[in-house]
Amino acid sequence: MLTPKNTIDLAGAFGSVWIARHLGGRGGRIPLVNFIITRECNSGCKTCDSWKTARSGADELTTEEILDLRPAMRRMKTRLVSISGGEPTLRGDLETVIAGFKDGGFAVHLNTNAFNLDGARVDSLAASGLNVVYVSCDSVEPECYKAIRGVDGLAGVIEAVRRFRSGPRPIPVGINVTVSRMNENELERIAARFVEMGVQKIQFVPIHRRHTMPELALSDEVMSELAPSNIGALKNNLKRLARRLRRSFIATNSDFFINHFEYAYKPARAAPCFAGYLFVDIMPSGEVNPCHIYRTGLNVREAPLDEIIGSEEFAGQRREVTRCDAPCMMTGCLETSLRCRLSYLLFHPMEIYRQANMHL
Ligand SMILES: C[S@@+](CC[C@H](N)C(=O)[O-])C[C@H]1O[C@@H](n2cnc3c(N)ncnc32)[C@H](O)[C@@H]1O
Ligand code: SF4
Ligand code: SF4
């Protein structure tokens, strides 16, 4: 929830991040930390190879190692921790991690496939203090869901969303839809189903070759089979859909994002990226990277997080970010970076206010 103190903190963070990104300098503030908390996965998605390459969780940061990062995150004035994977709910200590970050004064998000969460697990995740849960769902037709995700999980997803919204501690729900040739004609039905269930946000992400961990990349064959078939028609459809969602006060992609959907397949930047300045990724075994593509080899097991961020090696990788022309339209990167543009702040104050309220 936005308070006057939060608002001042956010304005300060924006100033610091913007200056570091555009005028150079170390810029020690990192408002958002993405934790890729595990490589393990229980799904079998066609769009993501995480489940094929998952290694044993043996080298993953322990609960203690994760929560020991809090003092450094406070020094970096981090506000938000976003937990993802692999499938983060496979970690039995997830609730302890979430509660630990909440106790430390951070807002916490979870990204999950949710198909295997029973009511008791949903309730314990919500009770641990989550601010928002993002549930991935690429189809509301059971057979199509199974074809895309490799598991017969739609009923579980729907039940988990229902429970997150109506359990003892209801929390805001966002739906993540990865758009591919397998569901490009179903987006309106997906949105309608979740609008009916009272979710707060529905966002669409074009399928990417590389989207979560530096070592994962889909093959040319998979990309040519799954990339959307007609981006022009898809953009028009998404624009109509986004207008309808906004009229129902459901958050969705920005028009800027939709207008640049094809940049997921173009080696060019739609807007300046703030990876490494606004957010960093911490990998399951502790490596700290500016984003899902650039690796630093720097590890929180060897140095405090804020020292890593302030180091010359990390600064070197950040310079790569400013020159990056990778095909990249991940919402977590582009939509987040977009909020740091002065023009966006000026013309969309209400939208930024609502999003901050939902996420903090
Ligand atoms: C890697 S998953 C990790 C969290 C969790 N396992 C899940 O599926 O929600 C994070 C997000 O990436 C999305 N995703 C999967 N494959 C993708 C791809 N090729 N391009 C873009 N996003 C993708 C997922 O649908 C999900 O919303
Ligand atoms: S998208 Fe999520 S659920 Fe699917 S394979 Fe990747 S990590 Fe697993
Ligand atoms: S635009 Fe480039 S630097 Fe930014 S998140 Fe995407 S791959 Fe990383």
pLDDT in tens, the chain (360 residues): 667 667 767 777 777 777 788 777 666 789 999 999 999 999 999 999 999 876 667 799 999 999 999 999 999 999 999 999 999 999 999 999 999 999 999 999 999 999 999 999 999 999 999 999 999 999 999 999 999 999 999 999 999 999 999 999 999 999 999 999 999 999 999 999 999 999 999 999 999 999 989 889 999 999 999 999 999 999 999 999 999 999 999 999 999 999 999 999 999 888 888 999 999 999 999 999 999 999 999 999 999 999 999 999 998 888 888 889 889 988 878 888 777 777 777 777 777 777 777 777
Quote the ligand 3 centre to 326 CA distance (angstroms): 7
Predicted pLDDT at 75: 95
Quote the ligand 1 centre to 137 CA distance (angstroms): 9
Q: How far apart are CA 247 and CA 195, in angstroms?
A: 12
Q: How far apart are CA 96 and CA 360, in angstroms?
A: 19
Q: Are 101 and 78 in contact (CB under 8 A)?
A: no
Estimate the crossing angle of helix 154-166 against helix 119-127, to 10 degrees.
40
- Nearest atom in ligand 3 to the alpha carbon of residue 330 is 6
Quote the ligand 2 centre to 206 CA distance (angstroms): 15
CB 131 less than 6 A from any atom of ligand 1: no
The two tokens of residue 93 are 């200590």
Residue nearest to atom 7 of ligand 2 (CA): 86
Residue nearest to atom 6 of ligand 3 (CA): 328
Q: Where are the domains of the chain?
A: 33-359
Predicted pLDDT at 54: 65
Ligand nearest to the CA of 208: 1
- Nearest atom in ligand 3 to the alpha carbon of residue 291 is 8
Q: How far apart are CA 288 and CA 318, in angstroms?
A: 12
- Nearest atom in ligand 1 to the alpha carbon of residue 87 is 6
Q: How far apart are CA 269 and CA 21, in angstroms?
A: 15
- Ligand 3 lining (C-beta closer than 6 Å): 273, 275, 291, 293, 321, 324, 326, 328, 333
Predicted pLDDT at 27: 64
Q: How far apart are CA 76 and CA 14, in angstroms?
A: 13
Rg, the chain, Cα only: 19
The two tokens of residue 206 are 């074009």
Quote the ligand 1 centre to 48 CA distance (angstroms): 7
The single-letter code of the amino acid at 203 is Q
- Nearest atom in ligand 3 to the alpha carbon of residue 294 is 8
Quote the ligand 3 centre to 192 CA distance (angstroms): 31
Quote the ligand 2 centre to 34 CA distance (angstroms): 16
Ligand nearest to the CA of 209: 1
Report the 3 state secondary structure along the chain: CCCHHHHHHHHHHHHHHHHHHHHCCCCCCCCEEEEEEECCCCCCCCCCCHHHHCCCHHHCCCHHHHHCCHHHHHHCCCCEEEEEECCHHHCCCHHHHHHHHHHCCCEEEEEECCCCCCHHHHHHHHHCCCCEEEEECCCCCHHHHHHHHCCCCHHHHHHHHHHHHHCCCCCCEEEEEEECCCCCCCHHHHHHHHHHCCCCEEEEEECCCCCCCCCCCCCHHHHHHHCCCCHHHHHHHHHHHHHHHHHCCCECCCHHHHHCHHHHHCCCCCCCCCECCCEEEECCCCEEECCCCCCCCCECCCCCHHHHHCCHHHHHHHHHHHHCCCCCCCHHHHHHHHCCCHHHHHHCHHHHHHHHHHHC
Predicted pLDDT at 131: 96
Rounded to the nearest 5 degrees, what angle is found at the Cα of 222, between the Cα atoms of 219 and 223?
85
Quote the ligand 1 centre to 44 CA distance (angstroms): 11
Ligand nearest to the CA of 290: 3
Kindly list the distances between the CA atom of residue 213 and the CA atoms of 177, 216, 288, 297, 338, in Å, as whole numbers in the listed order: 19, 6, 12, 13, 22
Determine whether domain 33-359 maps to CATH 3.20.20.70: yes
From 48, 94, 149, give the residue whose CB has the most ligand 1 atoms within 8 Å, as the site to mutate.
48
Q: How far apart are CA 179 and CA 332, in angstroms?
A: 15
Phi, psi of 334, deg, nearest 5: -75, -50
CB 48 less than 6 A from any atom of ligand 2: yes
- Nearest atom in ligand 2 to the alpha carbon of residue 47 is 1
Quote the ligand 3 centre to 269 CA distance (angstroms): 9
Predicted pLDDT at 220: 95
Predicted pLDDT at 199: 98
| CA proximity to 267, closest of 209, 184, 342 | 209
Quote the ligand 2 centre to 204 CA distance (angstroms): 16
For the whole prediction, is pTM greater than 0.75?
Answer: yes
Predicted pLDDT at 25: 66
